[in-house]
Amino acid sequence: MCWRMISYGWKGPFWVWESETEEEKARATKDIINYNDNCGEEESHLNTAWRASEEWKELRIRELSNAREARILATITGIKAKTTQSWRDSWCYVTCLAQPLLWPAC
């Protein structure tokens, strides 16, 4: 997997990492379960603040519109859009890349 952070007029670092081993996948699964068991109050507070923002409201409207268009297109063509990212990929992204590398750079 690789990741590059790009913004208007600026390019951040570029990272590449190998596929996870079975041991790393098992450890990530345990970490996800532990995190989910212990983050309820903080997550609730952050989600409440985020959902009150205008940015979230605009994003939600745009996402609902895109989903509606995708459903209409699937009805017309008979082809549903596929996604390739899994929750394990997301966890790897957040713990290996976003928190330690991207967020400090931003």
Question: Range of 53's domain?
Answer: 24-79
| Domain assignment present for 93 | no
CA 106 – CA 102 distance, rounded (Å)? 6
- The answer to whether residue 13 sits within a structural domain is no
Residue 8 has pLDDT above 70, yes or no: yes
Q: Is residue 90 part of a domain?
A: no
Q: What is the pLDDT of residues 42-79, one digit of tens each?
A: 878 888 898 899 998 998 898 888 888 888 888 898 88
Structurally, the chain folds into a number of domains equal to 1
Burial class for 44, CB neighbours closer than 10 Å (0-12, 13-18, 19+): exposed
User: pTM score, two decimals?
Assistant: 0.39
SS3 category, 3: strand
Averaged pLDDT of the chain: 79
Residue 94 belongs to a domain: no
Any idea how long the chain is? 106
**How deeply is 12 buried, as exposed, middle or buried, from its count of CB atoms within 10 A (0-12, 13-18, 19+)?**
middle
User: What percent of the chain is predicted at pLDDT more than 70?
Assistant: 83
pLDDT value of residue 85: 52
Domain membership of residue 100 (yes or no) is no
Asked if the structure places residue 68 within a domain, the reply is: yes
- Inside any domain, residue 43: yes
